[in-house]
């Protein structure tokens, strides 16, 4: 069971009634954050999921509205008494950005483990989260992310018995581990059933739609995507600044057969009450206009 | 006429219903900000005085809650089209802090003029503002500030005539300028009346009360001061962390004969509805418990 919260829905700058776009994921009590703008720690406080068990922060790119909340968030996490290291993932340049922004928050009790991504598609497993990062076209180096929570196949007692697997190895094999003890060699497939579908959430802001992005987000349970403007007349502007229209996000969602699309990263020129997604829903009916702290819980779909 | 706004009243970390402590001053359309925590640009937006004419930012010290809003604010000022330089003043270490925090906001169209104060009492005049900085005891280098708007004495036509000052020099002398042209030498006192009282606002957070601070704030029109706790039982705690009780701020205000005391920088453990200053007002009756965007206008008192 994966909880997802869209912490904010603004782009460019924080507004009194709209926090900057960021996503918080919670799985088995551990948390992952994508992006951290000015005020992200405040909307996290309003959400109430706590700070202490945040294990991973992923940055899409280093524009101010996606990163300047980092030092404050780290200080607030430090106040919780955290001592476990925290992993920060981002495009090339991560070390310089983190070292700069944390000039006033060096004195924290936990280590930062920085993973500076090479500028290519790659997958990492950190704790409960399988993270895939894809370079996307913006005016600085930028990544889209998918977060997947895999699920091991079901343990099949009859299969284990039929394959003569000693019971003492069942638990390790059930957890996906190979067992080699002396001459004994057993693989998990000897005790496990068919592959089961995991949960997949995709997140993309500040970029143009490209084929690789469509491939990345294929069949996501949830696709959180920038819809800078809901009015298609802004196409030239979003092309120039390498952003995306809500209708372009919907086209992506449709082609990639995602289950649900949440729009976010609205222009400061687009107040919440002016967001009209009627036309966007004609392209992809299961589109929702994001609002701050919109939350959902995604369950594994197979038994 | 000086407008003062207490942009926020919190200490340590930004809360959903309380921005971090910062003060904005406006005089003749130009503005000066003291401290810039996470969210300061947002409460400035709610205030509505604009960003473009902000000429000076003073930092009291470099704890996160007083500085991490800087990169976002600079980016937002940049969006206004500002090209004039902006002055930033702060304790030793300013350059390193600003260079770090602005790692994601280098690409702005105006220059930053950094004035790194030596750790001693000093006075600077920047634009309309005469700024005096005083080192105060905190666990990092910290300054209290006074902001003064001087007022030249009144121009006295009869005095100018009596002193045989040629009329062509009156304007320059009226503006406080000495005039030397050939053998002519005239000083402003030849055309000006008695000294007139200016406006004085003092600002102090994150420190213990000391004699020098009492001297600095003497007869301020307004003294904005930390009152971390309104309950005196926290004395040991504030002494340990070098903060100030509301009652200590009131004692300072009383001794220094300021006109009005605004309390601010409340602990996150002290919600607005729990702030009770009845006992504090017994020490200094003209005490007000600050709230976000509390505003006043201070006029010159003499004709």
Model confidence pLDDT, tens digit, residues A166-188: 999 999 999 889 999 898 899 99
Residues from chain A that touch B69, judged by Cβ atoms under 8 A, are: 38
**B56 and B180 co-located in one domain:** no
Clarify whether residues A15 and A130 are in a common domain: yes
Residues A211 and A72 in one domain: yes
Contact A39 B38 (CB under 8 A): yes
**Binding site: what residues of A are annotated?**
61, 63, 65-66, 138, 206, 265
In a domain, B77, yes or no: yes
Q: Looking at residue B233, what is its pLDDT?
A: 93
Do B52 and B42 contact (CB within 8 A), yes or no? Answer: no
Residue A303 has pLDDT above 70, yes or no: no
Give pTM, 2 decimals. 0.92
Q: Which residues of A are annotated as a binding site for Zn(2+)?
A: 61, 63, 65-66, 138, 206, 265
Q: What is the pLDDT of residues A18-34, one digit of tens each?
A: 999 999 999 999 999 99
pLDDT at A152: 84
Flag if A42 and B46 touch (Cβ within 8 Å): no
- CATH value at residue A225: 3.60.15.10
Q: Which residues of A touch B38 (CB under 8 A)?
A: 38-39, 41-42, 68-69, 72
Same domain, B126 and B181: no
Which tokens is A187 given? 């693989």
- Residue A303 placed within a domain: no
Pairwise pLDDT comparison (A271 vs B90), residue with the higher score? B90
Residue A92 C-alpha, separation from nearest chain B C-alpha, in angstroms: 13
DSSP code, position A183:
T
Residues A185 and A102 in one domain: no
CB distance A110 to A78 below 8 Å: yes
The 3-state secondary structure of A284-303, one letter per residue = CCCEEECCCCEEEEECCCCC
Cβ neighbours of B96 in A, within 8 Å: 103
Q: Which residues contact B180 (CB under 8 A, 6 or more apart)?
A: none
Residue A195 binned pLDDT confidence (cut-offs 50, 70, 90): confident
Q: Do B42 and A71 touch (CB under 8 A)?
A: no
Which residue stretches of chain B have pLDDT < 50? Answer: none
Contact status of A71 with chain B (Cβ, < 8 Å):
yes
The distance of B73 to chain A (nearest Cα, Å) reads 9
Specify the pLDDT at position B136: 97
Nearest to B103 among A46, A69, A97 (CB): A97
* Run of H or E residues at A171: helix A170-174
- Residue with tokens 């304790």, as numbered in its chain: B91
A261 interfacial to chain B (CB closer than 8 Å): no
Identify the residue whose tokens are 């007083």: B66
Per-residue exposure over A2-28, b if at least 16 CB sit within 10 Å of its own CB, e if not: bebbbbbbbbbbbbeebbbbbbbbbbe
Task: Give Cα B118 distance to the centre of its chain.
Answer: 18
Instruction: Tell me phi and psi for residue A280, to 5 degrees.
Output: -65, -40
pLDDT in tens, B15-34: 999 999 999 999 999 999 99
A65 close contact with B: CB closer than 8 A: yes
Q: What end-to-end distance do the CA atoms of chain B give, in Å?
A: 13
The per-residue pLDDT of chain A, averaged, comes to 95
Beta carbons of A100 and B101 less than 8 Å apart: yes
Read out DSSP for A59-120?
A: -S---HHHHTTHHHHHHHHHHTT--S-EEEEESTTHHHHHHHHGGG----SS-EEEEE--SS
Distance in angstroms (rounded) separating the CA atoms of residues B236 and A49: 33
Query: Do B251 and B283 have their domain in common?
Result: yes
* B265 annotated as belonging to a binding site for a ligand: yes
Residues B265 and A215: their CA atoms lie apart, in Å, by 50
Q: Are residues A99 and A227 in the same domain?
A: yes
Does any CB of chain B come closer than 8 Å to the CB of residue A63? Answer: yes
Contact list in B for residue A67 (CB cut-off 8 A) is 104
What are the chain A neighbours of B16 within 8 Å (beta carbons)? 42-43, 45-46
Residue A10 scores a pLDDT above 70: yes
Q: Decide: A142 and A60 in contact? Cβ < 8 Å.
A: yes
CA atoms within 13 A on the CB side of B91: 20
- Structure ipTM over 0.85, yes or no: yes
Total domains in chain B come to 2
Give residue B303's pLDDT: 64
> Does A36 contact B at CB distance below 8 Å?
no
Give the CA dihedral A208, A214, A220, A224, nearest 10 degrees.
Answer: 10
CB atoms within 10 A of CB A212: 14
Q: Is A250 among the domain residues?
A: yes
A79 found inside a domain: yes
Question: Domain containing B28: what range?
Answer: 2-151+196-298
Does A17 participate in catalysis according to the annotation? no
HEC profile of chain B: CEEEEEEECECCCCECCECECEEEEEECCEEEEECCCCCHHHHHHHHCCCCCCEEEEECCCCCHHHHCCHHHHHHHHHHCCCCCCEEEEECCCHHHHHHHHHHHCCCCCCCEEEEECCCCCEEEEECCEEEEEEEECCCCCEEEEEEEECCCCCECHHHHHHCCCCHHHHHHHHCCCCEEECCEEECHHHCECCCCCCEEEEEECCCCCCHHHHHHCCCCCEEEEECCECCHHHHHHHHHHCCCEHHHHHHHHHHCCCCEEEEECECCCCCHHHCCCHHHHHHCCCEEECCCCEEEEECCCCC
Q: What is the pLDDT of residue B17?
A: 94
In a domain, A204, yes or no: yes
| Whether B39 and B115 share a structural domain | yes
B202 and B183 in a common domain: no
Conformation bin of residue A164: beta by default, left when phi > 0, alpha when psi is -120 to 50 = left
Query: B6 and chain A: CB distance < 8 Å anywhere?
Result: no
pLDDT of residue A99: 97
Under the banding of pLDDT at 50, 70 and 90, the label for residue A150 is confident
Q: Does residue B303 fall inside a structural domain? A: no
pLDDT digits (tens, 9 = 90+) for A238-260: 999 999 999 999 999 999 999 99
Residue B39 has its nearest CB partner, among A42, A75, A105, at A42
- With an 8 Å Cβ cutoff, are A14 and B39 in contact? yes
**Phi, psi for B201 (deg, rounded to 5):** -125, 135
CA atoms within 13 A on the CB side of A130: 8
Q: In this prediction, what percent of chain A has a pLDDT beyond 90?
A: 91
Check whether residue B9 and residue B145 sit in a common domain: yes
Does A77 reside within a domain?
yes
Rg (CA), chain B: 21
Buried b (16+ CB within 10 A) or exposed e, B204-229: bbbbebeeebbebbeebbbbbbbbbb
Q: Tell me if B65 is assigned to a ligand binding site.
A: yes
CB spacing of B75 vs A13 below 8 angstroms: yes
The pLDDT of residue B195: 85
Residues A96 and A229 in one domain: yes
- A10 to chain B, any CB pair closer than 8 A? The answer is no
Chain B residues touching A92 at Cβ < 8 A? none
Distance from CA of A71 to the nearest CA of B (A): 7
- Between chains, do B72 and A101 touch, taking CB under 8 Å as contact? no
Note the pLDDT of residue A3.
Answer: 98
* Three-state secondary-structure class, residue A167: helix
How far apart, in whole angstroms, are the C-alpha atoms of residue B106 and residue A101? 13
Give the tens place of pLDDT for each residue, B130-179. Answer: 999 999 999 999 999 999 998 889 999 999 999 999 999 999 999 889 99
Our CA angle for B43, B23, A47, nearest 5°, is 35
A100 touches chain B (CB under 8 A): yes
Q: Mutate which of B8, B20, B40, B64 to test chain A, going by most A C-beta atoms within 10 A?
A: B64
**Which tokens go with A176?**
């996906």
Residues B63 and B161 in one domain: no
Using a CB-CB cut-off of 8 Å, the residues of chain B touching A271 are: none
Q: What percentage of residues in chain B have a pLDDT greater than 70?
A: 99
* Within a domain: B93: yes
A79 interfacial to chain B (CB closer than 8 Å): yes
Any B CB within 8 A of A285 CB: no
Q: What tens digit of pLDDT does each residue of A81-118 get?
A: 999 999 999 999 999 999 999 999 988 999 999 999 99
Tokens of A244: 């995306």
Which SS3 state, helix, strand or coil, does residue A43 take? Answer: helix
Q: What residue in B sits closest to A108 (Cα-Cα)? A: B64
Q: CB atoms < 10 A from the CB of B115, how many? A: 16
Q: Could you tell me if B21 and B8 are in contact, meaning their C-beta atoms sit under 8 angstroms apart?
A: yes
């Amino acid at each position: 069971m994966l909880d997802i919260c869209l912490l904010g829905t603004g782009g460019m700058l924080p507004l009194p009634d709209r926090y900057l776009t960021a996503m918080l994921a919670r799985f088995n009590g551990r948390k992952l954050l994508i992006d951290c703008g000015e005020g992200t720690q405040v909307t996290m406080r309003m959400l109430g999921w706590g700070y202490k068990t945040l294990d991973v922060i992923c940055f899409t790119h280093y524009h101010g509205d996606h990163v300047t909340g980092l030092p404050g968030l780290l200080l607030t996490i430090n106040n919780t008494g955290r001592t476990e290291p925290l992993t920060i993932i981002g495009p090339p340049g991560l070390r310089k950005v983190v070292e700069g922004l944390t000039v006033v928050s060096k004195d924290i009790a936990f280590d930062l483990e920085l993973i500076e991504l090479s500028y290519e598609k790659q997958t990492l497993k950190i704790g409960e989260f399988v993270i895939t990062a894809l370079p996307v076209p913006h005016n600085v180096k930028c990544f889209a992310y998918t977060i997947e929570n895999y699920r091991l196949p079901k343990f099949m007692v009859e299969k284990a018995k039929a394959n003569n697997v000693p019971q003492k190895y069942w638990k390790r094999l059930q957890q996906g581990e190979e067992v080699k003890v002396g001459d004994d060699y057993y693989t998990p497939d000897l005790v496990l059933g068919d592959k089961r579908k995991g949960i997949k959430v995709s997140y993309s802001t500040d970029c143009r739609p490209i084929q690789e992005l469509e491939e990345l987000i294929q069949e996501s349970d949830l696709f959180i995507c920038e819809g800078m403007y809901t009015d298609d007349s802004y196409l030239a502007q979003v092309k120039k600044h390498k952003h995306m229209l809500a209708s372009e996000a919907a086209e992506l969602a449709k082609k990639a057969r995602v289950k649900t699309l949440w729009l976010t990263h609205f222009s400061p020129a687009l107040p919440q009450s002016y967001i009209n997604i009627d036309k966007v829903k004609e392209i992809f009916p299961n589109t929702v206009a994001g609002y701050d702290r919109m939350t959902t819980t995604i369950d594994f779909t197979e038994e």
